[in-house]
Amino acid sequence: MKINGSFYKTYSATVYNNSERYSVDKAKKNSDLRGDTVEISSDALRMERVSNQEISREERINALKKEIQAGRYTINAEAIADKIIEYIA
């Protein structure tokens, strides 16, 4: 039995094109079902927390500056001593 070379090339090209079309259609269908998703890394979440802490810190510093300028800021020596002891121990 003799196989014609041109028939084999045409047939294999058709099978390849159909399988390629099927995989593209399948990928489209899967992407439609899944929808878009976003994942935020742990590093990004940590950066967001630090950013929020910096804003809070700036607000606290500004409030302390206003108290000092108004003469209402008092130093709590007992709280400072407690923190020193915690640090040393």
Same domain, 32 and 48: no
Same domain, 17 and 57: no
> In whole angstroms, what separates CA 62 from the centre of its chain?
31
Task: Provide the domain limits for residue 68.
Answer: 38-89
- What three-state secondary structure class fits 4? coil
Per-residue pLDDT tens digits of the chain, which is 89 residues long: 555 555 455 545 555 555 555 555 555 665 556 677 888 888 888 888 878 777 788 888 999 999 999 999 999 999 999 999 999 98
Same domain, 27 and 51: no
Same domain, 47 and 21: no
Same domain, 46 and 87: yes
The answer to whether 35 and 26 have CB atoms below 8 angstroms apart is no
User: 62: which 2 tokens?
Assistant: 């500004």
Judge if pTM exceeds 0.75: no
Number of domains in the chain: 2
Residue 40 CB: number of other CB atoms within 10 A?
A: 9
Same domain, 44 and 87: yes
